[in-house]
Chains A and B, each alone.
Chain A
Amino acid sequence: MPKNDPVDVLIIGAGASGAAVAWSLADTKMHILCLEQGGWMNPSAYPSTGRDWEARFYGDYSPSPNIRARAEDYPINDDNSPIKVVNFNGVGGSTIMYTAHWPRLSPSDFRVKSLDGVADDWPISYEMLEPFFAENDRMMGVSGLSGDPAFPPTEPPMPPLPLGKSGTLFGKAMNKLGWHWWPSDTTVATTDYEGRARCINLGHCTPGCAQGAKASTDITYWPHALRAGIELRTHCRVREILTNEHGMASGVVYYDQDGVEQFQPAEVVIIACNGIGTPRLLLNSTSGRFPNGLANSSGLVGKNLMFHPYAQVYGFVEEETDSNRAPPTCLWSKEFYDTDLSRGFVRGYAIQFGRGAGPVFEAVMSEAKGILPWGADHHRVFRKLNGHRLALSAICEDLPEEHNRVTLDPVLRDSHGIPAPRVDYTISENSRKMMEHGIARAKEILAAAGASDICLNSPIPYGGWHLLGTARMGTDPERSVVNEWGRSHDVKNLFIVDGSVFVTSGGVNPTSTIQAIALYVADQMKQRLANLFD
């Protein structure tokens, strides 16, 4: 097997967290290499550049790796889960394919045991992460409005996206009900920002922004990291992490872009492969010393998978909405975010408000729901629906449960023959009650907005965007995989910086928090360079 020159730090994965940790560590001047199984994206080939922009969402730009099936993707057996995994593999990772909705976890999310007697407290706090949230907001380029009464003060560097028609309709409805709402923080540039052009409302933001207004780490962190000397090798898929006689990680075995097996030695290994890819890699890295997978003395690698079940409700109003002609991210509400046991469940959910859909999506979804008929009346009904959709989702906090897990599939393998991950997941009773509550409130909101033809997607089946908890952080090696600064309890030169380390999920999109943690871990490493392995 070819052996490469050793590096000081090897990062696996060039997505949200891998890019952030690479950039932060660059000022150490160490020899840092990142291996990424995908390649660089070409924005001129993104769906919004072509007339088939909506159709490609069902094909080569599907959020599901199993449907998309690009050479860079690996299959995931999620048959035994009502929520299917969605992700993206390439430089930028799933920041290529996300809605750019940008909430942070709240201070109370880090203390759920103390506050509500469930799950566990995190070993870190919001206050510890706050400077890294702010740094990350500057690096990713965040638009938003200061002063949200439902969150500690923040200072987004760009003004918020316009409310538009949809936001105005929702705002009026929420005011009628007297409930909290606020324009979302987003990573969509509303002004020209550090080489990125401002948003021109392509609308089809999720599967890659051709304008470059939506932040993805290939256009935010990576250009800075590369200029600072980080090496990034693309189309390199890591099979396993090897260890030496001292129980330390010695490097990784990977397949290069020609499919040739390579060994890459490293002094430090950092995993940034998301809550599915990270446990998969650890479980594939078995040895005599680590027969149950690397860093798995607790037995918790792959366990406690949290998704955020989404309960989506939508309806149709007489007024025109923004439809597909604006970023999908619009508003959020924290009215039902915190625990109120009179609701019948513990913890809570945020509400995420959308703007609408394009004509193909509208036709496909409405036909499937049975509200768009076949035959002569099709045209009349379609004109009533298209451009009139108001949609919102309760994004529910998923509490950790060990039976929700990632294991290795005994049969399924990727194109390199590496065992693929299998997901076993059920929605808990607490989450179901939370979803029902969210649906009822969403119906009230839509009624206040004057909507009719109400439909549900609960859970959103292809809604497994948030992959959390499968290598959790903690101070107790028997109850966690990494310590309070991201280092494996078992392997002293192995770190994890992605969503796997989440102790609990909160009820909001996690990417902002994932990247803040990656920057925090990098900062901790820099402060401890002299005794990193003690």
Chain B
Amino acid sequence: MNSVDTNTVTGTGLTPGQRDDLRAIAAMMIPESAEYRVPGADDPMIQADILATLGRDATRVREALDHIGRLAGQPLAALDAQRREAVAREFRESGGVAAATLVRVVLQCYYRDDRVLRSLKLEPRAPFPLGHTLEQGDWSLLDPVKARPSMWRRAP
């Protein structure tokens, strides 16, 4: 999912200030990690994917960002770290369905990013057409169950 043109994302209905807050809250959710060699959720390509695919979630995401705006009273990124944490906590606790939608939208774009999936040792591809391999497992485990007497309840 790393082919979004960051210059063509339009029509989301988000103001520049809301986009800044979206980027800021996403970075708080999932920061960049050198240890795991993954970007943060504020990465430009992930943000572009979010904006390009908001679709039917746009209204609730706008509501969520309005809520953040009210709680912060100024751009989220402009708050000091302690205050920003408090706003984020309050947002998640009181934001209801709108907050849950924003969080889900960030997560669903983050966890389909090629770099993130590779870090998780997952192939960055659709399930179809290659599918996956499912091992048979240990069928001998079933032997004690097979040895049980019939246990279904008879009906009159």
Contacts and interface: CB of A to CB of B under 8 A. Distances in A.
A411 B154 CA distance: 48
A168 B154 contact: no
Nearest to A112: B155
A374 B88 contact: yes
Interface string B1-37: 1000000000000000000000000001111010110
Contacts of A337: 153
Interface string B36-69: 1010000000000000010111000000000000
Given A163-B139, A211-B131, A368-B100, A374 B28 contact: yes
A405 interface: no
A447 interface: no
Interface in A189-230: 199-204, 210-211
Contacts of B154: 107-108
Contacts of A115: 153, 155-156
Contacts of A260: none
A367 B131 contact: no
Q: How large is the interface on B (under 10, 10 to 19, 20 to 34, 35 or more residues)?
A: 35 or more
Contacts of A526: none
A204 B127 contact: yes
Contact of B141 (A52, A168, A324): A168
B82 interface: no
Contacts of B155: 107-108, 110-111, 114-115, 125-126
Contacts of A202: 127-128, 131-132
Contacts of B131: 199-203, 211
Given A106-B153, A338-B153, A378-B30, A162 B108 contact: no
Contacts of A51: 1, 112, 124-126
A164 B134 contact: yes
A123 interface: no
Given A107-B154, A149-B149, A180-B151, A171 B138 contact: yes
Contact of B134 (A110, A162, A387): A162
Given A52-B53, A322-B134, A360-B108, A108 B153 contact: yes
Given A175-B144, A334-B152, A383-B120, A168 B138 contact: yes
Contacts, number: 179
Given A182-B145, A360-B111, A48 B127 contact: yes
Contact of A374 (B30, B136, B152): B30
A467 B62 CA distance: 35
A174 B144 CA distance: 10
A167 interface: yes
B137 A167 contact: yes
Nearest to A55: B108
Nearest to A44: B128
B107 interface: yes
B126 A54 contact: no
B117 interface: yes
A53 B122 CA distance: 15
Contacts of A111: 155-156
A151 B152 contact: yes
Given A200-B131, A211-B131, A367 B151 contact: no
Contacts of B35: 379
B29 A374 contact: yes
A171 B47 CA distance: 43
A199 B131 CA distance: 9
Given A55-B108, A111-B156, A204-B127, A359 B145 contact: no
Contact of A107 (B30, B92, B153): B153
Interface of A: 46, 48-55, 58-59, 106-108, 110-111, 114-115, 125-126, 147, 149-152, 161-165, 167-168, 171-172, 174-175, 180-183, 199-204, 210-211, 322, 324-326, 334, 337-338, 359-360, 363-364, 367-368, 374-376, 378-379, 383, 386-387
Interface of B: 1, 28-31, 33, 35-36, 38, 53, 55-57, 88, 92, 100, 103-104, 107-112, 117, 120, 122, 124-139, 141-142, 144-146, 148-156
Given A150-B152, A163-B141, A374-B88, 13 more contacts: A55-B112, A59-B56, A107-B152, A107-B155, A114-B156, A162-B134, A200-B131, A204-B127, A322-B134, A363-B111, A378-B30, A379-B30, A387-B120
8 contacts: A58-B104, A163-B136, A167-B137, A168-B141, A175-B141, A325-B134, A368-B103, A376-B31
